[in-house]
Amino acid sequence: MNIIKMPVLTEKSIAKYKNEGKATFEVDVNTNKKAAAKALTAAYGVEVVDVKTNSRMGKYKVNRLNRKLIKREDKKIMTFKLADKNKIDIFDEASK
């Protein structure tokens, strides 16, 4: 099971990484904080101090052609507070 899907590289998340040392990732909807922290440590070799979670329910949209109701995918986004002097290359490259 792939716990960490992809990093969230927005202006706000890159600013949090620069100023506060917090990295933001989209994770699997059914994962918990401990499993996500272990997966991030295994994937990037960093030490995680704290984890914050934000769940977003998928929106309902109406297809205009055939009037069918479509539900978008649910998302779970976690913000990881990294220990001092730990870095992730993806966020360093995006901040340049």
The structural domain count of the chain equals: 1
Q: List strand residue ranges (DSSP E) for 1-96, in order.
A: 4-7, 22-27, 48-56, 60-62, 69-71, 75-82
C-beta atoms surrounding 94 within 10 Å: 15
pTM score, two decimals? 0.87
Give tens-digit pLDDT for 50-77: 999 999 999 999 998 999 999 999 999 9
Which structural domain, as residue segments, surrounds residue 18? 4-94
The pLDDT, as a whole number, for residue 86 is 92
Count the residues in the chain.
96
The pLDDT, as a whole number, for residue 41 is 95
Question: The domain spanning residue 86 has which CATH number?
Answer: 3.30.70.330
The mean predicted confidence, pLDDT, of the chain is 94
